Amino acid sequence: MIERLMNPERPYGEPAYSKFSEQINQLQQDISGQLAPQAKEHLEQLTDMYIRRETAALHDAFSEGFRAAIQLMLDLYRKGVIQP
């Protein structure tokens, strides 16, 4: 259900998202150039885990916001503030 509500074409968080992404990528490249192969692999794993964590948090926050909006709508409907 949540996947139907989020628009994959919409650039959420722009323009700040792109700015921070560029900074993250630059730092990752700088650090990666200083690391041994095994440490580079760990850095890539860390980056992947960070992305998965943020995706999970975004999904949960969006779901919670949607539920709160529905609850507010139902409360207003019950009070007669809005009509069907």
Least confident piece of the model among 7-11, 13-17, 58-62: 7-11
pTM, two decimals, is 0.64
Q: Is the pLDDT of residue 63 over 70?
A: yes
Give the Cα separation of 63 and 2 in Å (integer): 7
Rg of the chain in Å (alpha carbons) = 20
Give the Cα separation of 31 and 75 in Å (integer): 52
Give the Cα separation of 22 and 27 in Å (integer): 9
Q: Is the pLDDT of residue 5 over 80?
A: no
- pLDDT, residue 39, reads 95
